[in-house]
C-alpha cells in the first residue's frame, strides 16, 4: 500500500473508543488525542488556577529571592526588572495557553513541544523536553524542602541557640539537622498527595487562602512593625539606588537581576499537567495558566515594592547570616514572637507549594510511564481505585528523599544537583515558541486561546525573553569566577540534553511517541470538539476547513517521509 493511501482518520488509537454517547466531551477529546481516560476528572477552574498559582508561590518566591535581586543591581533593578519580567511572562503564558487548549494532556509540556515541531521532528524534541521537564519538576520538590527547612532552622539564630558543631554548612551536625528537617517536610508534602482527589481540592483552596493571609499580614503588620523599629527606606532609595554585589560588569550585573525577577514566575505550566483531571480542560487549563501568571505577576510586584520599603539598609540586610535571612528581618521588625508566627506561615506555605509541585511532577511521570519509556513503566503508570497516579507520587518521594541525602556529605553538592531546576522549564518555554514560529505557525487554530495575528510577535517575544533568562540562569552569579562560584547548572543542563538525545536515538519509535500517535494528535488539534462547531477562537479558517488542511499537509508529509521497500 502506498503512503498516499494511508487513511489518517483510521490510524490506531491507544484507547478503546467505546460508546461515545456514554462519555463526556473531555473523554471524547482525550480519545481523539490517542488516550483513554484513566485519571479522575473532578477538578474545575479553582483547582486549575491553584495548581499553577500555588506552584509559583508569589509571596515565598519574592521573599526567598529578593536578596539575590538586591545584590544584582539593587532596588532600582529589582522593581524595573520585575515589570519587564511580568509583561513578558504574561506573553509566555498566552503562548502556552494557546497550545494547552489544543493539547490538554498530562505531561503536557513535552507533548506541546513534540506537536509544535510537526511530524518530522516531533519525537526528537519530545524526548529532549521530556528529560528537561522531568529534571525541573523532580528536583524542584527536593530543593523546596530545603528552603522550608532553612526557614525552620533559622529560628535557632533568632533565639541565639548554640547548636553543637556550630550553625554553618561546614558542620556535619548542622547539615544533619537541615537534612532531617528537609526530609520531614518532604514526607508531609508527599503524604498530602495521597489524599483522595476531592479532598485534595480542599488543599488547593486552603493553599490560596494561606498565601493571601501571608500577603496581607506582610502588607499590614510588617509596615506597622517597621515604622516602630528601624524605619522605612526612602522613595529615592527604593526607586533609584543601585548596587553591585556580584562583581560582574555593571550592565551584566543589572541583567543578572532577571535571574530573580523571572524566577518567581516560572512554573505556570502546572495547570496543563493536571488537564486530564480538569473538567472542560480545553478551556479551563489554558485559563488556569493565564490567570495564575497574571495574579502571580501583579501580587508579586506589590510584594516587591512592599519589601523594598520595609527592608533595612543594605549593609544591615546583607549582614543577616541566617540560612533564610527573612526570618531575622521579621524578628527585627516584629519581635521574636512575630518572627515565629510569620516563619510558621511561610514554612507551611512552602510545604503546600511542594505538595502541589509533586502533583504536577507525578502527572508528568505518569504520562511518560503511560507511553512505556521508563523502567517499571507498567507499575508507575498504574492508577489506584481513586483514579490517581499513586505510584508516580511514590517515585517522587523516593527520588526526592535520595536527592536530599546529598546534603549530608556536602550541601554544596545538593545545591549543584538542584541548580538546574528552573533552567529546563525556561528552555522549554522558549523552545515551544521557536517551534511554533518556525515549524507550525499556522496550526492549532481550533484553540480557544488562538492568538491570531498576534501569534508571531508573541512567539518572537517569548523566544527572546526566555533566551535572556536562560543566559542569566547558566551564568556565574559572582565574579571573578572561581571553582567555588562556578555555576554547574550549565553542565547539568547539557548532560540532561545529551541523555534526551541518546534516548531519542536508542528507544524504538514504536516504544514511545509513535508516529501514528503524533499524527493522530496533530489532526485532532484542528477538529471541533463539539458536533456542529463551525469556527475557532481568534478568527482564521473554520475548523472543518482547517482540519482538511491539516489532513492534506499530514498526508503530504507522510508520503514524503515514508518510502516503500
Question: Which value, to the nearest 10 degrees, does the dihedral of the CA atoms of residues 348, 353, 359, 361 take?
Answer: -130
- Close Cβ partners of 467 (under 8 Å, ≥ 6 residues apart): 430
Q: Can you say how many angstroms the Cα of residue 545 is from the centroid of all Cα atoms in its chain? A: 35
Q: Report residue 420's pLDDT band, with 50, 70 and 90 as the boundaries.
A: low
Residue 292 has pLDDT above 60, yes or no: yes
For the domain made up of 43-520, give the CATH fold.
Answer: Amino acid/polyamine transporter I (1.20.1740)
Q: Give how far Cα 64 sits from Cα of 57, 245, 248, 329, 501, Å.
A: 11, 17, 22, 12, 34
Please choose, from the candidates 134, 126, 135, the residue with its C-alpha nearest in 3D space to the C-alpha of residue 501: 126
How far is 228 from 440, CA to CA, in rounded Å?
59
Residue linked to cell 534526551: 500
> Domain residues of the chain, as ranges?
43-520
Residue 315 has pLDDT above 80, yes or no: yes
SS3 of 439-502: CCCCCCCCCCCCCHHHHHHHHHHHHHHHHHHHHHHHCCCCCCCCCCCCCCHHHHHHHHHHHHHH
DSSP letter string, 354-409: HHHHHHHHHHHHHHHHHTT-STTHHHHT---TTSS-HHHHHHHHHHHHHHHGGGTT
State which of 14-28, 224-238, 489-503 shows the largest mean pLDDT.
224-238
Q: Report residue 419's pLDDT band, with 50, 70 and 90 as the boundaries.
A: low
Q: Which three cell numbers stand for residue 135?
A: 529534571
Residue 85 has pLDDT above 90, yes or no: yes
Q: Report residue 375's pLDDT band, with 50, 70 and 90 as the boundaries.
A: confident
Q: Which three cell numbers stand for residue 403?
A: 536527592
How far is 170 from 172, CA to CA, in rounded Å?
7
Residue 18 has pLDDT above 80, yes or no: no
Q: What is the pLDDT of residue 416?
A: 67
Q: What is the pLDDT of residue 305?
A: 97
pLDDT in tens, 381-403: 888 888 899 999 999 999 999 99
pLDDT in tens, 316-340: 999 998 999 999 999 999 999 999 9
For 226, counting Cβ atoms within 10 Å of its Cβ (0-12 exposed, 13-18 middle, 19+ buried), the class is buried
pLDDT in tens, 456-486: 999 999 999 999 999 999 999 989 988 777 8
How far is 134 from 154, CA to CA, in rounded Å?
31
Q: What is the pLDDT of residue 463?
A: 98
How far is 508 from 186, CA to CA, in rounded Å?
36
Q: What is the pLDDT of residue 550?
A: 42
Amino acid at each position: 500500500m502506498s503512503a498516499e493511501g494511508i487513511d489518517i482518520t483510521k490510524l490506531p488509537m491507544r484507547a478503546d473508543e467505546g460508546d461515545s454517547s456514554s462519555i463526556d466531551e473531555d473523554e471524547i477529546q482525550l480519545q481523539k488525542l490517542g488516550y483513554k481516560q484513566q485519571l479522575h476528572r473532578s477538578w474545575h477552574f479553582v483547582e486549575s488556577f491553584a495548581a499553577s498559582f500555588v506552584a509559583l508561590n508569589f509571596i515565598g518566591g519574592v521573599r526567598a529571592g529578593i536578596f539575590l535581586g538586591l545584590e544584582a543591581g539593587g532596588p532600582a533593578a529589582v522593581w524595573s526588572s520585575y515589570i519587564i519580567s511580568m509583561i513578558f511572562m504574561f506573553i509566555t503564558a498566552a503562548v502556552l495557553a494557546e497550545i494547552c487548549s489544543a493539547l490538554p494532556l498530562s505531561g503536557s509540556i513535552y507533548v506541546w513541544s513534540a506537536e509544535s515541531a510537526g511530524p518530522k521532528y516531533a519525537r526528537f524534541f519530545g524526548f529532549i523536553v521530556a528529560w528537561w521537564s522531568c529534571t525541573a519538576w523532580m528536583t524542584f520538590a527536593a530543593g523546596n524542602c530545603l528552603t522550608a527547612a532553612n526557614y525552620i532552622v533559622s529560628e535557632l539564630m533568632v533565639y541565639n541557640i548554640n547548636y553543637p558543631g556550630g550553625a554553618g554548612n561546614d558542620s556535619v551536625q548542622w547539615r544533619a539537622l537541615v537534612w532531617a528537617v528537609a526530609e520531614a517536610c518532604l514526607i508531609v508534602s508527599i503524604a498530602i498527595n495521597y489524599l483522595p482527589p476531592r479532598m485534595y481540592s480542599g488543599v488547593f483552596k486552603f493553599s490560596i487562602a494561606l498565601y493571601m493571609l501571608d500577603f496581607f499580614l506582610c502588607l499590614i503588620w510588617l509596615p506597622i512593625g517597621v515604622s516602630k523599629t528601624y524605619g522605612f527606606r526612602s522613595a529615592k532609595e527604593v526607586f533609584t539606588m543601585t548596587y553591585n554585589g556580584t562583581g560582574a560588569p555593571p550592565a551584566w550585573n543589572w541583567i543578572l537581576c532577571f535571574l530573580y525577577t523571572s524566577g518567581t514566575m516560572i512554573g505556570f505550566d502546572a495547570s496543563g499537567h493536571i488537564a486530564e483531571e480538569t473538567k472542560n480542560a480545553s478551556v479551563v487549563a489554558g485559563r488556569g495558566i493565564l490567570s495564575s501568571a497574571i495574579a502571580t505577576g501583579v501580587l508579586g510586584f506589590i510584594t516587591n515594592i512592599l519589601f523594598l520599603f520595609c527592608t533595612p539598609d543594605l549593609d544591615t540586610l546583607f549582614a543577616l547570616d541566617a540560612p533564610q535571612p527573612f526570618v531575622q528581618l521579621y524578628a527585627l521588625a516584629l519581635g521574636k514572637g512575630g518572627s515565629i508566627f510569620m516563619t510558621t506561615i511561610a514554612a507551611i506555605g512552602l510545604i503546600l507549594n511542594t505538595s502541589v509541585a509533586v502533583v504536577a511532577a507525578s502527572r508528568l511521570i505518569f504520562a511518560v510511564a503511560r507511553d512505556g519509556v521508563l523502567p517499571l513503566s507498567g507499575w508507575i503508570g498504574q492508577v489506584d481505585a481513586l483514579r490517581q497516579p499513586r505510584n508516580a507520587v511514590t517515585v517522587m518521594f523516593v527520588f526526592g528523599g535520595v536527592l536530599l541525602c546529598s546534603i549530608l556529605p556536602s550541601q554544596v553538592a545538593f545545591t549543584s544537583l538542584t541548580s538546574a531546576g528552573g533552567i529546563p522549564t525556561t528552555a522549554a518555554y522558549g523552545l515551544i515558541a521557536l517551534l511554533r514560529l518556525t515549524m507550525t505557525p499556522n496550526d492549532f487554530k481550533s484553540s480557544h486561546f488562538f492568538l491570531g495575528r498576534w501569534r508571531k510577535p508573541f512567539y518572537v517575544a517569548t523566544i527572546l525573553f526566555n533566551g535572556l533568562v536562560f543566559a542569566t540562569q547558566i551564568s556565574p552569579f559572582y565574579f571573578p569566577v572561581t571553582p567555588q562560584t562556578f555555576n554547574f547548572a550549565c553542565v547539568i543542563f547539557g548532560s540532561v540534553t545529551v541523555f534526551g538525545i541518546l534516548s531519542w536515538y536508542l528507544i524504538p519509535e514504536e516504544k514511545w511517541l509513535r508516529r501514528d500517535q503524533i499524527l493522530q494528535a496533530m489532526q485532532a488539534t484542528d477538529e471541533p470538539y463539539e458536533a456542529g462547531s463551525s469556527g475557532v477562537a481568534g478568527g482564521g479558517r473554520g475548523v472543518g476547513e482547517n482540519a482538511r488542511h491539516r489532513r492534506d499537509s499530514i498526508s503530504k508529509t507522510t508520503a514524503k517521509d515514508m518510502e516503500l521497500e
